[in-house]
Amino acid sequence: MSRSRIIISADEVVLSAGIGNSTTVNNARAVRVYNNSGADAVVYQTDADFTGIGSVTVKSGDIETFEKRPNDYLYYTGSATMRVARVGIAN
């Protein structure tokens, strides 16, 4: 089984909760999300017009990688903050 490698392509930044804090994460195609909020959180993806695409729950302490279009936005609902970074993926 091969493992993917994560390529860092931008600094990690803090993402505060709420749709008003939506971000493209530097127009990323792949985003590493670390839920350090202390609680489970729902991450939402919208298109450039803020039309909902979907959502997933990220458990507290988990790290997930999301693939998206560069102009799509991510935001989350929950408490405190999460950390996000634009990354690349290599096999």
CA distance 48 to 7: 25
Q: What is the pLDDT of residue 57?
A: 95
Position 1 pLDDT exceeds 60: no
Per-residue pLDDT tens for 10-40?
A: 999 999 999 999 999 999 999 999 999 899 9
The predicted model scores a pTM of: 0.88
What is the band of 63 on the pLDDT scale with cuts at 50, 70, 90? Answer: very high
Q: How many CB atoms lie within 10 A of CB 31?
A: 24
Q: How many CA atoms lie within 13 A of 88 on its CB side?
A: 6
* 30 within 8 A of 90, measured Cβ to Cβ: no
Give the CA angle between residues 89, 84, 60 to the nearest 5°: 105
Structure tokens at 81: 């903050």
Q: How many CA atoms lie within 13 A of 3 on its CB side?
A: 3
Q: What is the pLDDT of residue 89?
A: 86
